[in-house]
Every structure is written in structure tokens, then in C-alpha cells.
Amino acid sequence: MRISDKGLALVESLEDFHPVVYMDNAGLPTIGYGHKLKPVEAFPNGVTDEEATALLREDVAMAEHAVNTFVKVPLTQGQYDSLVDFAYSVGGSSLEHSTLLRLLNEGKYEEAAAQFVLWDHAGSDGLLRRREAERAMFTMPRSRYLAPAESRPITNCTACKNPLCPRQRHGIFVGHLLLLMGFYPWECLNCGMSYYLHQSKTRHLDQTSA
């Protein structure tokens, strides 16, 4: 298997985009979505969004290899994509020796899904949100994950109490992320936000302080 466009969009959404070279926290020259420059690489004019995505797709190849090698049970595309993001974030070796992988290979999918949020070792909100996003993708039904994205207003949502609203079901951050990535074939218009699904580097307009 290979990561899908939706899976790659998850990684992009969780990595800061830098069109020009910068030094990361480890002092390594980096560009795009966290791409570490190789000795033979130079980007004097920076990278476009499309070029950064192409670099990211090359970078996730090692994470894809780890998932393809270590996982011994069938996966949906959503489960595979979430595991690739997890391996990309924590490293293939960490995946190999994780309780998450052991439970998954034992066929305990629900118990494995619960393991994602336990990998918040840095204790940061950003890392916890990434784990929550991975878990949400892992547990998403196959039919919904593969559904084409389109905008269809929901008009009976009052203060985000509609149980179908992604923000209500998955929490604010993950709900935003799933909508932006087109996992839900509609948008909620009465919770103070407007969404534009499946547009390049789309952003939500949030008029609430929630």
C-alpha cells in the first residue's frame, strides 16, 4: 500500500510549511513540510506548494516501508494512512516496538486505536492533537473515508449541538482538520465557521472563540 492524497494532506496539515530554507530546532537546513536538505540539494529560489508536497511524498516513503513491513493484518486506507503519519512522526523503529503494533497484529483494532493518544510523550498540545487526528483517521469507516468531498450545508446545527457536526464528534481541532481534508461530504454553516473543502492549502474561517 501507499499513502493516499488524504493521508498526505494529514501530514501537510500537521507540519508547518516553509517555502524557503530555514534551520530547524536541531540546526538542520529544512524546507517545505519538514524536508531535511541532502548534501546535494539546494533551493535558492525556495519551493512551491507542489514541490514541497512532492518532497514530502518522498520523505514519507520510509514510513510507508515501516508500515508495510511490520503490520501483518489487513488495513483500510484510513488505517494505513494514519499509521504512516504515526511512523513518520515517531520513527519506524518506535512503531516496530510499540504496543500499538502488537495489539494491531493481534487483530485488536479498537485497542490499538486507543494507543495513539498514549504517544504524547512530549506533553505538548500540538503532539496530542496529532495523535487525536491519527486516531480519528484510523477509526473512520471505510465508506466515509473514501467518499468524494463536496460541500452540502447543514441548516439545523445550533451552536454546534448537531451530533453530526465533526467539531461535536471529534473535538474542535480534529473536527476542523477532517473537514478541511474533505473527510465529511458537507459543511456546518451554523456553528460560526465556513469551510472550503479540498482546495489547495484551504483554511477555515472561524468567527467564534470556541
207-210, long-range: CB < 8 A, 24+ apart: 210/160, 210/172
Element (H, E) at 188: strand 187-188
Domains delineated in the chain? 5-143 (1.10.530.40), 148-206 (no CATH)
Per-residue cell: 86: 504515526
pLDDT for 205 equals 33
Q: Is 112 helix (H, G, I), strand (E, B) or coil?
A: helix
Chunked into runs of 10 residues, the chain (210 residues) has average pLDDT values of: 86 84 89 91 92 92 96 95 92 94 97 92 69 88 67 46 55 60 53 39 34
Catalytically annotated residues: 15
